Amino acid sequence: MRAIQTRPTGTERTFGADEIIVTKTDPRGVITYANEVFLRVSALTEAEAVGQPHSVIRHPDMPRAVFKLLWDTLAERQEIFAYVKNLAADGAHYWVLAHVTPSFGADGRLVGYHSNRRLPDRSVLTQVSRLYDHLLAVETREAGTKAAVEAGWQALLAELGGQTYDEYVWALTNGAV
């Protein structure tokens, strides 16, 4: 497997408004399925993607607090919608509006996660970027990962001003912010 370039190039990649990026993972977040759109946009081959942790596309500009929210929500067996900046294998980045849901077997046991991602409306990305930049700045002032996540989490709650992240996402998505 080729090494994934972890340095962002600053080049933004997009995909069609009518396209959906789809991945499935096991309960640990290891990719078990990736559709053609994901492979093309992430600059990974199927062999490079399947078997890797989904964090293989984590962009360093993404605040840890957002991933805390994502994993906490999924642990409660709930779905989440989130704006996410991802990092492709070639260093390009791409924004998505992700919808992540837990997947359950016939016995009700968690078997993994399913994520659909759509192209977000460009008009919301300025606001999302501002929020994420603020959270990242708060997180980077902390010495350890645990402290950084907690500081970012507290900053996220403060920025949301009493609304939930879901309410924030839907207000942006529906043009109410």
Q: What is the pTM of this model?
A: 0.92
How many residues appear in the chain?
177
- pLDDT surpassing 70 at residue 60: yes
Q: Tell me if 13 is assigned to some domain.
A: no
pLDDT value of position 130: 97
Q: Tell me if 8 is assigned to some domain.
A: no
pLDDT value of position 177: 65
Q: Tell me if 58 is assigned to some domain.
A: yes
| pLDDT tens, residue by residue, 80-127 | 999 999 999 999 999 999 999 999 999 999 999 999 999 999 999 999
Parent domain of 92: 21-173
Q: Tell me if 4 is assigned to some domain.
A: no
For the domain that residue 88 is a member of, what is the CATH number? 3.30.450.20
Domain count of the fold of the chain: 1
